[in-house]
Chains A and B, each alone.
Chain A
Amino acid sequence: MPLNNYIGFFRILFTLVLAMCLRIAPLEGDWALLNPDWVLLALIYWALNLPDRVGIFHAWIFGLLTDVLLGRLLGQYALAYALIIYICLKLHKRLRQFPFLQQGLFIFFCLLLSQLLLFFIKNLQHPAQLQASFWLPVITGTLAWPLVYGLLSFVSLFRRIK
């Protein structure tokens, strides 16, 4: 069992690192505005499916790393991710029973809440400089959810992580 545990751990770590790479992917011009928050999507997936493996602490750590990665104020993503993952952990039993569309709606609100928190923090620093395109990743993130879900369930089922 410990070996399997380690493999599972590295697999989760690998997907999160991949998500961080996607987060800073060099997209041309306006496409960059659409780049969704892959790290949060991956964290939500793992929190819903393996709630005993991925918790608030992991979310906080990866939030902090994302802050450094994106050069943000240290702790803003940590806060947002920890909060979202807390909600996901609280609701994961119910959410797993939901139909896919309803789950998508939940993901939408999760992403919206995270973006809202980031918006408040950003506004405290430099008021009123964000354009409407700031909110686009929420929509693209929701659209990307089936993709993330499919990919990560393939990863977790490939050799079942317990």
Chain B
Amino acid sequence: MRTTLSILVDPLKYLVSLPTSLVEQATDSATSYSALKAENEHLREDQLIHQARLLKFAALEKENIRLRALLENSFKLGEQVLVAELLSVNMAPYEHILVVNKGTRFGVHPQQPVLDANGVVGQVFRALPFTSEIMLITDPNHAIPVQVNRNGLLTIAVGSGQLNRLILPFLPSNADIKPGDLLITSGLGGTFPQGYPVAVVDEFTAQPNKAFATITATPKALLDRNRELMIVWSKSVPVPLISKPTGSEEGMPDATK
């Protein structure tokens, strides 16, 4: 029912976000040659750095595979991403829900994790044929299982309703966590793949008279400044890693596409 009606209504979302995207295109095409050149150079440098890092990453991944093979813990989950663009529409101001321009036509389905270049953004909340709705991790109804990167402490980060704030309500006052700690997805719960950065802890207040401490964290992803998001498919079927112990090119799981 909702899917059918959304075919009638979704064009309006595209229509409403048209002025914003037109303005953006206009500013893009009006950028001067020198600015473009500078940006290009900057991006090329970035690309070089990232490529160098990727080389290292490939080596590390191989090593990881070998070590895992030794432990006979023999699989890793591969992932695939789709870039979706934000539609500038405003559905419910008191909820943190975004609309993007990719829907079930592209195979998007509910509960898929959504990332940006810096970290986890949220998850697909509802997939319609032409658009899908994404609930941000800061929505008051959202909770994400996380892990402290420093020591592996597991907990849950709950949205606060503010775009720059997550709350960790379930840690005792003597928990080993301090401001500056990076929180990554723990992979528990099965929605979010393991190991993506979520937030940085910015405040820890022990409350002696209460069971739990008040801990807040700032999301890594630029939740309000992004126009491009990545929708992730985690392959639920494990990719066997020790099929080729010699470690040729196919031995590498295709991490991204």
Binding site for B on A (CB under 8 A): 17, 20-21, 24-27, 32-33, 35, 64-65, 68-72, 74, 126, 129-131, 133-134
Taking A24-B89, A32-B93, A133-B94 as contacts, is the C-beta distance between A68 and B12 under 8 angstroms?
no
Q: Which residues of B contact A64 (CB under 8 A)?
A: 5
Residues of A close to B9: CB separation below 8 A: 20, 65, 68-69
Shortest Cβ-Cβ A-B pairs, 9 listed: A26-B88, A32-B93, A24-B89, A68-B5, A69-B9, A33-B93, A32-B90, A70-B91, A68-B9
Residue numbers in B under 8 Å from A129 (CB-CB): 140-141, 161
Within 8 A of A (CB), among B89-125: 89-94, 97, 125
The contact sample of 27 A-B pairs, CB cut-off 8 A, is A20-B12, A21-B12, A21-B15, A24-B13, A24-B16, A25-B90, A26-B16, A32-B90, A33-B94, A35-B93, A64-B5, A65-B5, A65-B8, A68-B2, A68-B8, A69-B91, A71-B91, A71-B92, A71-B126, A71-B133, A126-B140, A126-B141, A129-B140, A129-B141, A129-B161, A130-B94, A133-B94
Chain B positions near chain A (C-beta within 8 angstroms): 1-2, 5-6, 8-9, 12-13, 15-17, 20, 88-94, 97, 125-126, 133, 140-141, 161
Contact residues in A for B94 (Cβ distance below 8 Å): 33, 130-131, 133-134
Query: What B residues does A71 contact at CB under 8 A?
Result: 91-92, 97, 125-126, 133
Residue numbers in A under 8 Å from B126 (CB-CB): 71
Question: What are the residues of chain A within 8 A of B6 when measuring CB–CB?
Answer: 68
Known: A20-B12, A131-B94. A26 touches B20 (CB 8 A): yes
Q: Tell me the nearest residue of chain B to A133, going by C-beta.
A: B94
Nearest B residue (CB) for A61? B5
